[in-house]
Amino acid sequence: MSAFNVAKFGGTSVANFEAMSRCAAIIEDNPSTKLVVSSACSGVTNLLVELALGVQNPDDRQAILDKVRAIHYSIIEQFSEQEKTRYSIDTILTTLSSMAEAASFQSGDKLTDHIVACGELMSTHILTQLMIERGINAVRFDIREVLRTNSDHGKAEPVIADISALAQQKLYPLCQQHVVVTQGFIGSDVEGNTTTLGRGGSDYSAALIAEAVKASGLEIWTDVPGIYTTDPRIAPKATPIPEISFSEASEMANFGAKILHPSTLLPALRHQIPVFVGSSREPEKGGTWIRKQVESAPQFRALALRNNQTMVTLRSPDMFQTYGFLAQVFNILAKYQISVDLITTSEVSVSLTLDQTNTSGQAPELPADVKAELEQLCLVEVEYNLSLVALIGNKMSAKKGYAKQVFGALEDFNLRMICYGASPHNLCFLVGEAEAKKAVEVLHRELFE
């Protein structure tokens, strides 16, 4: 099979005409790029989420719709052939307007997915036309024909086998003739309802599609030139990482480095597709390659920070249950499909954090019925305003004294929960949101500078 590259562009990469043109240049530069996955134009998904939550006042609603329209029109205005694309955008905006009105009466997950999907549906119309005007043989494809998910609106799970079959049947042949432009983030369930993979889900879409067409490479173009040792806005001396392993990068994505959607690397790893992360604004700066095998495996690789953590502590008060307590707790969580990130346990209590990658992006709540059921079993305490700091590396505990080095640097911080041991690639802890950045800064200085 010839080289088949999938290129994904994030919201800031397709924010306006200039940004989109840079994407087109990147696509032109790599003749093996046959499939392009795009996010919504920067800011659009947030506006759509607002509409989906239900805006009561019709004028306010119209104002948001006007903003959405303006973002797209300002790009179309630069085209030589404007009519067709403007018509496509108008058609979507008309539907959007009625859905926004419906949401003002009653919002819901299913309607939200239909509304937020409009961002990617619009951006891909525009990107396709822009590419055509540059002479690229581009064609737009509605990924809902291929990206089959379950019906879990807002955070749908892909059905891998179906995606693969549908992609081979509908998408792969098209990629032989054209450069195909399609949507990230969105999919559809078996009944044809639009679904989404959760905020930031375009990366994951791109990886799922790359897997399904058996791509030989996946490029994720964003607004930072690759993965850094930590967020340079927190630690200005943070440096780019040229090469990182799948395991390390997955830990980073899972633990909050906002560069990649946490699930992105699963499909790439399954099919050993090397992933490149770079900045579409400055492609010449290079970026980070994520591969199975890498040359160096340093003890400390990077630090990631994730805010909006919800910690739930469960205590079985009279220790009467000498066994089975954890099993009961997790049975309840499983029954309500509550996904857990971190866990620490003692014999009679367990602390855990709730998974947070839902479409709203807010701190996850422990639903009242789940709480009530857990309370039949134990005392339940829920805390908000916490941040998770994750230290990523390799065989961290292999070297003596590492704990002293890490925790010594953090002696002035009140660490709420510490997890280490399950993965050789990560150590993480919770701190109060107010002091989280400081903790990252101090630790970065100690371990990386």
Q: Which is nearer to Mg ion, 38 or 129 (CB)?
A: 38
CB of 23 to ligand ASP, least distance (A): 14
* Number of shown-chain residues binding ligand ASP (CB under 6 A): 12
Q: Which is nearer to Mg ion, 10 or 287 (CB)?
A: 10
The 417-420 sheet, strands edge to edge: 340-345, 349-354, 300-315, 379-393, 426-432, 417-420
CB of 261 to Mg ion, least distance (A): 8
Of 12, 13, 39, 279, which lies in the binding site for ligand ASP, with binding defined by CB under 6 A? 39
* Range in contact with ligand ASP (rule: CB under 6 A) among 39-47, 151-159, 311-319, 368-376: 39-47
- Do the bridges between strand 426-432 and strand 417-420 make them parallel or antiparallel, or are there none, so unpaired? antiparallel
User: Taking Cα atoms as reference points, which of 97, 192, 179 lies closest to residue 141?
Assistant: 179
Of 34, 140, 199, 301, which lies in the binding site for ligand ASP, with binding defined by CB under 6 A? 199
Nearest residue to ligand ASP, scored by beta-carbon proximity? 202
User: Taking Cα atoms as reference points, which of 406, 389, 360 lies closest to residue 256?
Assistant: 389
Number of alpha carbons in the 13 Å side-chain half-sphere of residue 229? 18
Of 5, 12, 33, 45, which lies in the binding site for ligand ASP, with binding defined by CB under 6 A? 45
Contact between 201 and Mg ion (CB under 5 A)?
no
Residue 182 pairs in a beta bridge with 37, 141
Is 12 within 8 Å of 19 (Cβ atoms)?
yes
User: Taking Cα atoms as reference points, which of 204, 229, 231 lies closest to residue 218?
Assistant: 204
Is 155 within 8 Å of 357 (Cβ atoms)?
yes
* Number of shown-chain residues binding Mg ion (CB under 5 A): 4
Is 244 within 8 Å of 64 (Cβ atoms)?
no
Q: Is the dihedral of CA 411, 416, 422, 424 positive or negative?
A: negative
Which residues lie below 8 Å from residue 136, measured CB to CB, with a gap of 6+?
24, 27, 28, 179
Cα 337 from Cα 320, distance rounded (Å): 27
Contact between 256 and ligand ASP (CB under 6 A)?
no
Q: Name the binder of 184 from ligand ASP, Mg ion, none, CB < 5-8 A by kind.
A: ligand ASP
CB of 200 to ligand ASP, least distance (A): 4
Contact between 149 and ligand ASP (CB under 6 A)?
no
Contact between 262 and Mg ion (CB under 5 A)?
no
Q: Which is nearer to ligand ASP, 12 or 426 (CB)?
A: 12
Q: Name the binder of 201 from ligand ASP, Mg ion, none, CB < 5-8 A by kind.
A: ligand ASP
Q: Name the binder of 357 from Mg ion, ligand ASP, none, CB < 5-8 A by kind.
A: none
The three-point CA angle 218-263-38 to 5° equals 50
Q: Which is nearer to ligand ASP, 184 or 262 (CB)?
A: 184
Contact between 184 and ligand ASP (CB under 6 A)?
yes
Element containing residue 368 per DSSP (H, E)? helix 368-375
Q: Is the dihedral of CA 384, 390, 396, 400 positive or negative?
A: negative
Contact between 201 and ligand ASP (CB under 6 A)?
yes
Q: Which is nearer to ligand ASP, 122 or 171 (CB)?
A: 122
Of 11, 256, 262, 278, which lies in the binding site for Mg ion, with binding defined by CB under 5 A? 11
Contact between 10 and Mg ion (CB under 5 A)?
yes
Contact between 119 and ligand ASP (CB under 6 A)?
yes
User: Taking Cα atoms as reference points, which of 336, 331, 338 lies closest to residue 354?
Assistant: 338
CB of 155 to ligand ASP, least distance (A): 12
CB of 186 to ligand ASP, least distance (A): 8
* Range in contact with ligand ASP (rule: CB under 6 A) among 37-45, 210-218, 242-250, 289-297: 37-45
Cα 365 from Cα 362, distance rounded (Å): 9
Contact between 200 and ligand ASP (CB under 6 A)?
yes
Contact between 34 and ligand ASP (CB under 6 A)?
no
CB of 203 to Mg ion, least distance (A): 7
Residue with token string 């994520």? 290
Cα 387 from Cα 384, distance rounded (Å): 9
Q: Rule CB under 5 A: which residues touch Mg ion?
A: 10-11, 39, 200
Q: Rule CB under 6 A: which residues touch ligand ASP?
A: 10-11, 39-40, 45, 119, 184-185, 199-202
